[in-house]
A and B are shown apart, each in its own frame.
Chain A
């Protein structure tokens, strides 16, 4: 596989160098730096097959040159927007393959220290994401895709940096108010009710099947009702989030509380431990993996709930509101800016919960392993 990729890079570079890169008749050799860069890339790519620099320095050099080639390609594409021809696409493919090769090499790196392993494990998906962004940029500018269809990442970035106040206001309205409040109340209520339900076997048998069913329902549909009941401002969105996050928490906590095995419960019994002691010392710690599972599910549900609820009526601020109005005005770059903020916030939120999970359930085989 790596050998195939390496020769693919070489072939693409050769094709790229000797055919037109941009219409009407511009070859890549007219940008000497870029040409040089790509030749270097090809050489670095096949060095394993040719048998030199078979070490991590070579790997790193490959990565650096690929990044350089990508940035030069991007600026070249910017100068000839929409004029890309065969040569350009070949070079784009070569760059993509080079990045792939780089990741392929990184993945088989054997490192001595834990820190480098961590960094590499973070770097691989990061490089993968960056590669996607680069490809997106190259294809959109190279082919001249109309802005209303799909703006280039650079345009989205530009839009983000120029409309910080709007984005911040929307973020505040949707995330800081509706999402966080709803998430906290929904998860908290789900947790407390779960403990109550667990205490009363009748409720557990009666509510759990219903809770399971409700978890599978499109709860988001209650959004219009909540908007009618609680008005246009954020409380109605928080209410939607509460309902959406409540059931996953309920169901997960109840099954988590039942997760301790018979021997562990017998052990507590031989100590004549009372209900609360058993709850805090055995059953809650045992339930933590389940509870965090619910928290992670809920962290994505909450954002979705709040944004979608805004489609049913909002004051003139909020991420969902902005998205639906800017789509109407064909300001697609603003929509993407809003999406980028949402994705970033969502990922950070999720990451935070996952980090907390690592700290709390460090003992669980799935984490310590």
Chain B
């Protein structure tokens, strides 16, 4: 039996999550059953993400960053614990088209032009032609791809392809953007440029972004909250709230505040590692 106080407590929790809690993960674990025995990809994850946050997951490869993001996107089912997205189950959130997902590779369809690729989710959502056209144009401009509408993916460079896939995710106009190492395969200069653009976009639209990376500067530069994960079993080692101003540019990377946060992230990564070996 629940006491009245507990119910009230729960209610309050629900109220506040309705107000601005986008992702609420409680005690979540995920174990893959493989032929070589179980793999504990995630264990005992607790994480709250508020509206307007820019959250980065950072950690060595194999620590479960992708898996955690996929759980949020309902591409993977947890084996224990609970998770809500926008106050509902991930499946319901997915059906509501609550988020846009950017994969590690561009995953564009080679038989569609860039514009048609961006239109793909819009067609599935059943939007009108004019609406589609308008969103394509807007988002192609946003990622600096105007003029490449009628090219095919294989005619574009890797960076342009990745930008197209971001445009495709943005075209859904989600309040939540899930990005899995979107710039991992790009060179440093393109990456810097896209980081800046992403940040501007985020500042302009007040979206919530969950961003997976294994680059410390990238994580610190972009995030308001950095989640350091460590492997075997995959778990959260540290959560760092960044006190850098929301409005920042690439020069901030030289400041002592930036370096201090970067140092803390690096320490976290090191500790998480040595703990294991």
Contact = CB atoms under 8 A, between A and B. Distances in A.
Interface of A: 263-264, 266-273, 277, 281-282, 285, 361-365, 368
B75 interface: yes
B32 interface: no
A368 B110 CA distance: 11
Interface residues of B, number: 24
Given A270-B73, A362-B111, A363-B154, 10 more contacts: A268-B124, A269-B74, A270-B99, A271-B124, A272-B95, A281-B109, A281-B120, A285-B109, A363-B152, A364-B110
B110 A363 contact: yes
Nearest to A368: B154
B107 A264 contact: yes
A250 to B, nearest CB: 23
Of A264, A266, A272, A362, chain B has the most CB atoms within 10 Å of the CB of A272
A160 B100 CA distance: 66
B103 A266 contact: yes
Q: Which one of B97, B103, B124, B154 has the highest number of Cβ atoms from chain A below 10 Å of its Cβ?
A: B124
A281 B123 contact: yes
Interface of B: 70, 73-75, 94-95, 97, 99-101, 103, 105, 107, 109-111, 120-121, 123-125, 152, 154, 172
28 contacts: A264-B107, A266-B70, A266-B75, A266-B103, A267-B101, A268-B124, A269-B94, A270-B73, A270-B75, A270-B99, A270-B100, A270-B101, A271-B97, A271-B121, A271-B124, A271-B172, A272-B94, A272-B95, A272-B124, A273-B124, A277-B124, A281-B109, A285-B109, A361-B111, A363-B111, A363-B152, A364-B110, A365-B154
B107 A267 contact: yes
Contacts of A285: 109, 111
A270 B172 CA distance: 11
Nearest to B93: A272
Contact of B105 (A263, A268, A272): A263
A225 B172 CA distance: 58
A264 B154 CA distance: 16
Contacts of B105: 263
Nearest to B153: A363
A263 B154 CA distance: 17
Contacts of A361: 111
Nearest to B70: A266
Q: Which of A264, A267, A282, A362 has the most CB of B within 10 A?
A: A267
Contacts of A268: 124
Contacts of A273: 124
Contacts of A272: 94-95, 97, 124
B120 A263 contact: no
Contacts of A269: 74-75, 94
B107 A263 contact: yes
Nearest to B92: A272
A365 B75 CA distance: 29
A263 B121 CA distance: 15
Contacts of B73: 270
Nearest to A266: B75
Nearest to B76: A266
Contacts of B75: 266, 269-270
Contacts of B103: 263, 266-267
Contacts of A362: 111
Contacts of B99: 270
A368 B155 CA distance: 10
B248 to A, nearest CB: 29
Contacts of A277: 124
Given A266-B75, A281-B120, A368-B154, A271 B107 contact: no
Nearest to B111: A363
A281 B119 CA distance: 11
A272 B99 CA distance: 11
Contacts of A281: 109, 120, 123-124
Contacts of B152: 363
B94 to A, nearest CB: 5
Contacts of B101: 266-267, 270
Nearest to A361: B111
Nearest to B105: A263
Contacts of A365: 154
A345 to B, nearest CB: 31
A271 B75 CA distance: 11
A264 B103 CA distance: 10
A366 to B, nearest CB: 12
Nearest to B178: A270
A24 B99 CA distance: 92
A270 B99 CA distance: 8
A282 B109 contact: yes
Nearest to B155: A368
B38 to A, nearest CB: 21
A361 B109 CA distance: 12
Contacts of B111: 285, 361-363
